[in-house]
Amino acid sequence: MTQELWSQVDDYLGEVFVPADPALDAAVKASRAAGLPEIAVAPNQGKLLNLLARLAGARSILEIGTLGGYSTIWLARALPADGRLITLEFDPKHAEVAKGNIAAAGLGDVVEVRIGAALDTLPSVEGPFDMVFIDADKINLPHYFEWALRLTKPGSLIVIDNVIRKGAVVDPTSTDPAVIGVRALNELIAAEPRVDATSLQTVGAKGHDGLTIALVV
Ligand code: SAH
Ligand code: DHB
Ligand code: MG
């Protein structure tokens, strides 16, 4: 019952705040047709990422975890014409689908998709970035956060997806790698003087989860 209602509300919010969009709709369709997992951010979350990037005045964005490029398109659209976005993806098939979706959205010149495990590709990524969106495997969250700090500057924004995991994050004895990753990330953030951060739990089409926002100070 609750999930059904959360999804209905997300559908309603999508109708009100996120008009039908040919490029984004095509990206969802192509990703589904290619058999990609349906774990992209929801439309209202994609729009939140777009608004955050614009609020941050972002001219450069780093994304870790591309999938089919749905969040990438939302983020890249927030950039000025001479902006740049680098997105890191482990799975070559996901990266191919994403490249097609990004090109079809007219963003092929702004976005660069780099294939490989992010911890292997990050050392050759050149910052600084105005915004980093972390949305790949969760066990490596602490490493991705350390990289995000290295690749940003004061005023930059770091956003991290999937930090609540149906509430499982409250369990210090959890053996779920995602929960272990999120809890280790939270300890890092709490002890890190270079960021001011908060975390919000969300419900919606994607269940009970949440996101963390950290401002580099
Ligand atoms: N940001 C996307 C969703 C990303 S899903 C959106 O909202 O539209 C997570 C993605 O991270 C998957 O495509 C997965 O293949 C990728 N991934 C998993 N482990 C990774 C790693 N070690 N390095 C880079 N990408 C990884
Ligand atoms: C998963 C990953 C995501 O990035 C997400 O938004 C939802 C689920 C997952 O790996 O289960
Ligand atoms: Mg996610």
Q: Which two tokens stand for residue 166?
A: 């149906």
Task: For ligand 1, atom 22, name the residue with the nearest CA.
Answer: 117
pLDDT at 143: 98
Task: For ligand 1, atom 5, name the residue with the nearest CA.
Answer: 67
**Looking at the whole model, is its pTM more than 0.75?**
yes
Q: How do residues 28-51 score in pLDDT, each as one tens digit?
A: 999 999 999 999 999 999 999 999
Of 111, 137, 136, 131, the residue nearest 23 (C-alpha): 111
Reading the chain (217 residues) residue by residue, the pLDDT tens digits are 799 999 999 999 999 999 999 999 999 999 999 999 999 999 999 999 999 999 999 999 999 999 999 999 999 999 999 999 999 999 999 999 999 999 999 999 999 999 999 999 999 999 999 999 999 999 999 999 999 999 999 999 999 999 999 999 999 999 999 999 999 999 999 999 999 999 999 999 999 999 999 999 9
Q: List Cβ neighbours of 213 (8 Å cut-off, separation of 6 or more).
A: 52, 157, 158, 159, 197, 198, 199, 200
Note the Cα 57 to chain centre separation in Å: 17
Q: Which two tokens stand for residue 89?
A: 């993806």
CA of 35 from ligand 1 middle (Å) equals 14
Q: How far, in Å, are 94, 132, 135, 139, 141 from residue 74 at the CA level?
A: 17, 13, 14, 25, 22
Mutation test of ligand 2: which of 31, 39, 163 has the most ligand atoms closer than 8 Å to its C-beta? 39
Ligand nearest to the CA of 205: 2
pLDDT at 18: 96
CA of 40 from ligand 1 middle (Å) equals 9
- Rounded to 10 deg, the angle between the 92-104 and 22-33 helix axes is 150
Separation of alpha carbons 155 and 164, rounded Å? 25
- Give the ligand 1 atom nearest the CA of 117: 23
Ligand nearest to the CA of 136: 1
pLDDT at 175: 98
CA of 163 from ligand 1 middle (Å) equals 15
Where does ligand 2 bind, in terms of residues with CB under 6 Å?
39, 135, 161-162
Task: For ligand 2, atom 8, name the residue with the nearest CA.
Answer: 39
CA of 39 from ligand 2 middle (Å) equals 5
pLDDT at 129: 99
Mutation test of ligand 2: which of 162, 163, 201, 203 has the most ligand atoms closer than 8 Å to its C-beta? 162
Q: Confirm or reject: Cβ of 112 under 6 Å from ligand 1.
A: no
